[in-house]
């Protein structure tokens, strides 16, 4: 079994990029690691420019880590990934309400 996870992560900074793109990251993995921990490892070990909501409640209540993970709406704080897995991580909304990378404004917050 592989000891890493391959993550294809949506990247787009409207102030710098002409178009969105997917970037591949290979990250050392632990058993029962969450997507939020995976993103935090990417941010701290290989790409400090990656934007996502770092801090959340961890209980599905604040909804700040809601993302599209492998095509489905999921909470990054609770979605587990395993060594050897390949995942695709995208913002929950795009292009409407998109800020940068995996950060979107919740339409309910802008009302």
Span 18-35, pLDDT tens digits: 999 999 999 998 878 999
Span 33-90, pLDDT tens digits: 999 999 999 999 999 999 987 666 666 666 778 899 999 999 998 999 988 899 999 9
Looking at the structure of the chain, the number of domains it has is 1
The CATH number of the domain holding residue 77 is 3.10.20.30
Domain of 62, in residue numbers: 4-110
pTM listed for this prediction:
0.86
* Rounded Cα gap, residues 34 and 8, in angstroms: 15
- Strands lying side by side in the sheet with 66-69: 21-28, 4-11, 86-90, 66-69, 72-75
């Amino acid at each position: 079994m592989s000891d890493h996870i391959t993550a294809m992560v949506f990247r787009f900074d409207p102030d710098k990029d002409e178009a969105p793109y997917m970037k591949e990251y290979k990250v050392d993995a632990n058993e029962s690691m969450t997507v939020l921990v995976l993103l935090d490892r990417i941010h701290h070990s290989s790409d400090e420019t990656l934007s996502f909501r770092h801090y959340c409640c961890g209980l599905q209540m604040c909804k700040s880590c809601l993302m599209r993970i492998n095509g489905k709406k999921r909470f990054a704080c609770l979605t587990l990934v395993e060594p050897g897995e390949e995942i695709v991580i995208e913002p929950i909304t795009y292009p409407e309400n998109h800020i940068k990378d995996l950060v979107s404004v919740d339409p309910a917050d802008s009302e």
